[in-house]
Amino acid sequence: MQLLDAALTREFRMTERYHLQVRLEGFNTLNHTNLGSPNRFVNEPQFGTVTMAMTQAREFQLSARFTF
């Protein structure tokens, strides 16, 4: 299974007391498909076929945090 998660963080100081942190996180950043196990039931027509992926598609989230 191949996954690459990444995060970028930047902090801005407004004054000595106030800070703003911006964060961007990416999950499965390369969007690599990890296939599930093949169907193992011999009596079904889908025997030996892969019908689903094990991991989610690429996702990003952006957040901000203000500290005072």
**Is 1's pLDDT higher than 80?**
no
What is the predicted pLDDT for the residue at 54? 80
Spatial distance between the Cα atoms of 65 and 68, rounded to a whole number of angstroms: 10
Decide: helix, strand or coil at residue 7: strand
**Is 12's pLDDT higher than 80?**
yes
pLDDT in tens, 13-60: 999 999 999 999 999 888 888 888 888 888 888 888 888 888 888 899
What is the predicted pLDDT for the residue at 53? 81
